[in-house]
Amino acid sequence: MGAGASNSRKHRVILGIGGGIAAYKVCEVASTLAKAGTEVIPVLTEQAQRFVTPLTLATLCRHPAYTDQEFWQSHQARPLHIELGETADLLVLAPLTANTLGKLTYGLADNLLTNTVLASSCPALLVPAMNTDMWQQQSVQRNWKQLQTDRRYHTIAPGTGLLACDRVGQGRMAEPAEILAVIDSLLLTEGKRDLAGKQILISTGSTHEYIDAVRFIGNPATGKMGVALAQAASHRGATVTLVHGPMATEHLTATTGIQQVSVTTSDDMQRVMMAHLPRADWIIMAAAVADVKPRDRALGKLPKVALPDDLPLVPVPDIAAHLAQEKSSAQVLIGFAAQTGDIETPAWHKLKAKGLDAIVANPIDQENSGFGSDSNRAILLSKTGDRRAVPQCSKRRLAHHIFDFVLQDRSGKEA
């Protein structure tokens, strides 16, 4: 189901749990999905039951948990693995062990989980976790790379940190927030990789224009929308560079595999965006760049009594307009217009005046929309005249709507 599609049926996710201490993290994934209305069906390997119990997962998922006992002793009309595999929208294997990774690589199936994988055709998300030495074994790396050539499999590589074995290195399973973000995208898009091969450059967050060493002109932008765009693009196969202003670290944690470049001022952002422009296929200006900056900046902190009664200001460069002048006709430039009141009329004006290919107009004076919120709503406009209104939804879902809109607009233009 694409991001713009609607379906009243609950999504069905098979949560396959392998034998590893990281299995405890899966409990949060299961609980969050179930609370959101997703039908979550836990399937535990024999080894997984040494770390979490079927009762725990059944309680969190609000659904019976299946083990090899049900597989071999099932009295259902149809084999259990067939029933599970044919009705699943997504399989999530977390933690994925070296043992199960090897089985999937060679198409082997000797338990309920691996049989269910082979009896299904839906997308599968692989989230490995293991000791660093195990992960770095040549055979394990070979299997991992081999599975990634199968377009059915989507992956989240393990992170680096302190492992349960007290080793510091790669092998740590992705955190629940990142796993949930990828699951959300895969359920929305059915695992399509329609941005594969594209280089996408995204700006996000605010800029700080300093008066002195500690005081600045800024705005409330948190960068959440740009992070959502980066996640959605990456989940759809793109290579992403995220240029962000000052942001809370928590907003950047679920962006594994995304190149991040931190900037502070509008001048910094323009310099970095221009440097990355030649390699970008799509450029998305989601940052809330300041419109003006102090004419003069004090090097140290000014005493309060020394602050000017009148602060001379000068305009900052219009980064989006400058990118539009420098980009090629094959590159796509998407802008944002955060507005109050009538959001559409000024957005059409900005689209044409700046030379954008598309613009996202979003209200900042409505509840649960705009700066700092987890959700948003928007009107999407293209220079070809296409228009689409997107009702309130999560920012990641809005990101998918934006990509669907631009891809559809581009396909119509190229037809």
Instruction: Return the active site residues.
Output: 165
Contacts of 227 (CB under 8 A, 6+ apart): 204, 242, 244, 251, 252, 254, 255
Cis omega (within 30 of 0) for bond into 246: no
**Other beta carbons within 10 Å of 134:** 15
Please list the alpha-helical segments (H only) found in 79-216.
80-87, 98-105, 112-118, 132-136, 138-147, 176-189
Cβ burial, residue 141 (10 Å; 0-12/13-18/19+): exposed
Q: Both tokens of residue 397?
A: 């879902």
Alpha-helix runs per DSSP H in 148-296: 176-189, 224-235, 266-276
CB distance 225 to 219 below 8 Å: no
* The dihedral sign for the CA sequence 157, 125, 259, 223: negative
Name 43's bridge partners: 16, 66
- DSSP single-letter state for residue 363: E
